[in-house]
Chains A and B, each alone.
Chain A
């Protein structure tokens, strides 16, 4: 398998504060990878670094091309969809407009069909398609955020704590759909989580990050099965 995303010696900075220290990892095309770590470890910063939303040094390659010097919107146009922490909903617009915005860089063809596809994944969005997105519940907004990202027809989807603030049943549903999207639409997924147990269930590969450094990596199944690792790094 070839690496779709390759990150080498990545440092990230907020002003004078360094948040990532020499991060190295790669994602295989077609895989689901999870980046685990406690609050403040640098997970969000890693995703923001990939989309050039924070100052970085080091190398990030997507499908062989360097990303670092491109503005965020151009990185997105390469096929990288980012579901940000907090969901980034366009709250004053309708659900359907949010979905249309996800496909704003595409030509018009196929958009209507894709919206229907999203409604099939997330029927609740269809019921609410004319409603202002800000009136949706947290879980519904998370589904909308995932659907909006998929409207790009991305090659790579970055998800920042999709389980945050959602009821366990809804989280389960969401992760099931993410697995399905990965298999059926061949979307490579990088999902950042504090909820390690669930993420390890759908991931092929896992990295653990602590204070801006990768401290542990391996096959998701092996990490999930290894109690020592779970206890010392993931706290469960």
Chain B
């Protein structure tokens, strides 16, 4: 029983990270109808920046906050320089853009900080949470920060005018322009927010997976699985999907004989494909109807 509870809680804590990545992916998908393959690399690069800031002597939370701001700006810059010019380009051109971004971020991180695995600090410590062996303080911290983030995002999109404008621009761009919304800047803002959300995911998971240029590759795959499971058109679904994938991953690794650590990733991929076959719009997504 304790093992089960333990695995579920651990699943929720990594699921929180998948939820963040899925949310970042969905935000950009809603804005420009493309999957950002480089979302994980953006998060990784942000995490390296925060590590560098701490190396220079800044305290954790200061580095965290600065990284958040820099990531936000970085996301906007990437959109303006790379993807705004590609807005009307064919899908494959965009895919090439994402792959280029992936490669650029991955190899620059390797060049600047090299490929050796680095330890990354946690501000929460790693003792048992509230004296319980079920979950560590860092895992609890991951869940806590994610929940705060989700609440903040909910309030932003639900109750602020700029959040309303962003939703409008994503759902009916033409009508959004007809009420005076600069949809192009809303897309840039979406990129900035997605980059910032990803940076939080990166900084939270780095103490677990350690810091290195490829740290986010498999995490982004889980994030994609979560987004597909919840529905690419539903931020809420993406979050639920993230937690579900985290839990499923952990339970499968523990209880299905032979799965273990090596086969966890194929499970994520199998999940993506299964959902795409059975319910292409995901658990919470709306089916996309395209007029031909």
**Do A and B share a complex?**
yes
A69 within 8 A of B: no
A105 within 8 A of B: yes
Q: Which of B143-151, B178-186, B250-258 lies at the binding interface?
A: B178-186
Give Cα A81–Cα B179 distance, bound, in whole angstroms: 7
Q: Flag A94-118 by CB within 8 Å of B: 1 or 0 each.
A: 0001001110110010000000000
Give Cα A62–Cα B261 distance, bound, in whole angstroms: 67
Does A101 lie within 8 Å of B168, measured CB to CB?
Answer: yes
Give Cα A166–Cα B177 distance, bound, in whole angstroms: 26
Does B179 lie within 8 Å of A92, measured CB to CB?
Answer: no
Minimum distance in angstroms from A61 CB to a CB of chain B? 20
A36 within 8 A of B: no
Q: Which of B159-167, B209-217, B267-275 lies at the binding interface?
A: B159-167
Asked if A97 meets B164 with Cβ closer than 8 Å, knowing A90-B171, A90-B172, the reply is yes
A53 cross-chain contacts in B, Cβ below 8 A = 174, 177
Does A104 lie within 8 Å of B171, measured CB to CB?
Answer: no
Pick from B165, B172, B174, B286: contact of A104, CB below 8 A: B165
B175 within 8 A of A: yes
A148 within 8 A of B: yes
Asked if A102 meets B179 with Cβ closer than 8 Å, knowing A90-B168, A93-B167, A93-B168, the reply is yes
Minimum distance in angstroms from A153 CB to a CB of chain B? 12
> CB-nearest residue of chain A relative to B162?
A104
A51 cross-chain contacts in B, Cβ below 8 A = 178
Minimum distance in angstroms from B183 CB to a CB of chain A? 7
Residue in B165, B179, B286 whose Cβ sees the most chain A Cβ within 10 Å:
B179
Give Cα A74–Cα B176 distance, bound, in whole angstroms: 12
A89 cross-chain contacts in B, Cβ below 8 A = 172, 175
Asked if A73 meets B183 with Cβ closer than 8 Å, knowing A84-B178, A88-B178, A100-B161, the reply is yes
> Size of chain A's interface in residues, with CB distance under 8 A?
26
A73 cross-chain contacts in B, Cβ below 8 A = 177, 180-183
Minimum distance in angstroms from B189 CB to a CB of chain A? 14
Asked if A76 meets B178 with Cβ closer than 8 Å, knowing A88-B172, A93-B168, the reply is yes
Asked if A90 meets B180 with Cβ closer than 8 Å, knowing A104-B164, A104-B165, the reply is no
The number of chain B residues touching the other chain, given as a range, is 10 to 19
Question: For residues 92 through 148 of chain B, which have their beta carbon under 8 Å from a beta carbon of chain A?
Answer: none
Does B164 lie within 8 Å of A72, measured CB to CB?
Answer: no
B286 cross-chain contacts in A, Cβ below 8 A = 92
Minimum distance in angstroms from A88 CB to a CB of chain B? 4
A148 cross-chain contacts in B, Cβ below 8 A = 179
B171 cross-chain contacts in A, Cβ below 8 A = 90-93
Q: Flag B35-46 by CB within 8 Å of A: 1 or 0 each.
A: 000000000000
Minimum distance in angstroms from B158 CB to a CB of chain A? 10
Give Cα A88–Cα B172 distance, bound, in whole angstroms: 8
Minimum distance in angstroms from A64 CB to a CB of chain B? 21
Pick from A74, A100, A108: contact of B164, CB below 8 A: A100
B172 cross-chain contacts in A, Cβ below 8 A = 88-91
Minimum distance in angstroms from B48 CB to a CB of chain A? 37
A100 cross-chain contacts in B, Cβ below 8 A = 161, 164
Give Cα A90–Cα B173 distance, bound, in whole angstroms: 10
Does B179 lie within 8 Å of A152, measured CB to CB?
Answer: yes
Give Cα A118–Cα B143 distance, bound, in whole angstroms: 44
A8 within 8 A of B: no
Minimum distance in angstroms from B292 CB to a CB of chain A? 17
A82 within 8 A of B: yes
Minimum distance in angstroms from B63 CB to a CB of chain A? 36
Minimum distance in angstroms from B10 CB to a CB of chain A? 35
A84 cross-chain contacts in B, Cβ below 8 A = 174-175, 178
Give Cα A108–Cα B183 distance, bound, in whole angstroms: 20
Asked if A104 meets B179 with Cβ closer than 8 Å, knowing A84-B174, A90-B172, the reply is yes
Q: Flag A45-81 by CB within 8 Å of B: 1 or 0 each.
A: 0000001010000000000000000011110110001
Does A104 lie within 8 Å of B161, measured CB to CB?
Answer: yes
28 CB contacts below 8 A, A to B, read: A53-B174, A53-B177, A71-B182, A73-B177, A73-B180, A73-B181, A74-B180, A84-B174, A84-B175, A88-B174, A88-B175, A88-B178, A89-B172, A90-B175, A92-B171, A93-B164, A93-B167, A93-B168, A97-B164, A100-B161, A100-B164, A101-B176, A101-B179, A104-B164, A104-B168, A105-B180, A105-B181, A108-B161
Q: A76-B180, A93-B164, A105-B180 are in contact. List 11 more A-B contacts (CB 8 A).
A: A72-B177, A74-B180, A76-B177, A84-B174, A84-B175, A90-B171, A93-B171, A101-B176, A101-B181, A104-B164, A104-B168
